[in-house]
Amino acid sequence: MASAYNFLIAANDEHGLNPPTEGKRTPILPNLGRSIYENEINRQAKQYFLLACARCGFRTLDVKPELTDTAVATRVRRVNSAGATLLVTFAYNAYGGGATFNNVNGYIVFYSRSSYRPTQSRLLAYDISAGLSKTLFTKNLGVGTLLDVGVLQSVRCPSVLCECGFMTNLAEAKLMLDPDFARDIGEGACRGVCEFLGVDFVERTGTYPTVRRGNRNKYVRVLQYALSFMGYNVGAKDGAFGAQTQDALKRFQRDNGLVDDGIAGAKTWAVINRTAPNPTLRKGAKGEWVKYLQRKLTSKLYPLGNVDGIFGNATENAVRAFQRENALTPDGIVGKNTWALLSSQGGGRQG
């Protein structure tokens, strides 16, 4: 097998979130009373993809780290200047006028016949489509071609666009808020990249070694990516465990009730990776597990306000509502039985 470190994988997310790209959003979702902007899922999927690629040992390039809708020319220049091996772009589709939901559904991977590397782009698209079919439960619409798409046509490497669902389908619109669905998009796309480049795929659920200040390896980069995506400033994601990474890790540990020793061991990795068993949560709890709970509830159309990692009154009320509507004891405590239903993808309120 080839060495993953020989390849530079570039990842791009379409549109922006601050400010949200006008028009790139779902119809108003029932119960939530708001639209979901496309970049809410695109950015998450890209982040999980980069995390998976780092775990597999690839060098990585985040083409659009900004929350803004960065110009195509800027993104293309970044890819070409870095000499990226390939580019994967994450997006979400729509059908119809966009004001109402319809039944069109599924994911599709596009490439451009007018790109610099059309044959390789086509092969990459088929490999990523196959990778996504191993992780996603939604309909695989296969591979398609697009014309006049600036990023696909202008980068000097194989390039594909993953349209991972339809914003105009209610079930798939709800999945835009589900962190497990975003993770599975990233994991599936990484599987496809590994197949395309002849690199071993490293499973997400494997054993992660303890890393600490002074270490330099791919798992330090995984830690740096994970902390960065959760909002902690690690500086450069270069695989070198220095003072800034240590400080960020200590803050994460304090925020999640862990010993703040600045060492990523089994307990710290378990929170970062959301490794089962899920902890029992109740009012007063804080941290990443609470954020995960809040995102899962929201994806099933149980409103609770902001996803802030604080289990307060609004989160407790949402938990009780979910429990009542799913024949569980409505005690507001998230234990084994509640997690068993809540952790699934899809489902929830239908309107």
Q: In whole angstroms, what is the distance from residue 323 CA to residue 90 CA?
A: 34
At 21, the pLDDT band (50, 70, 90 cuts) reads: very high
Q: Dihedral sign for Cα 248, 250, 251, 252, please.
A: positive
> How many other C-beta atoms can be found within 10 angstroms of the C-beta atom of residue 273?
16
Q: Give dist(CA 187, CA 49) in Å, integer.
A: 6
Of 1.10.101.10, 1.10.3720.10, 3.40.50.1820, 1.10.240.10, which CATH number belongs to 218-272? Answer: 1.10.101.10
Model pTM score: 0.97
Decide: 120 and 158 in contact? Cβ < 8 Å.
yes
- The DSSP letter of residue 242 is -
Confidence band of 207 (pLDDT split at 50, 70, 90): confident
CATH homologous superfamily for the domain 288-342:
PGBD-like superfamily/PGBD (1.10.101.10)
Cross-strand pairs, 8: 59
**Which tokens go with 30?**
């029932």
Token pair 């040992």: residue: 57
Give mean pLDDT, residues 311-340.
98
Whole-angstrom distance, CA of residue 226 vs CA of residue 155: 27
Give Cα 135 distance to the centre of its chain. Answer: 13
Evaluate whether the domain defined by 4-197 bears CATH number 3.40.630.40. yes
- The reported pLDDT for the residue numbered 2 is 85
Residue range 89-108, pLDDT digits in tens: 999 999 999 999 999 999 99
Confidence at 150, pLDDT banded by 50, 70, 90: confident
- Beginning with the edge strand found earlier in the chain, give each strand of the sheet holding 8-13 in spatial order: 59-62, 8-13, 86-93, 159-166, 107-111, 140-145
pLDDT at 221 over 80: yes
User: Is it true that 4-197 and 288-342 share their CATH fold?
Assistant: no
Per-domain residue ranges for the chain?
4-197, 218-272, 288-342
For the chain, count helices (H), then strands (E).
12, 6
Average pLDDT, rounded, for the chain: 96
Residues facing 20 on adjacent strands: 17
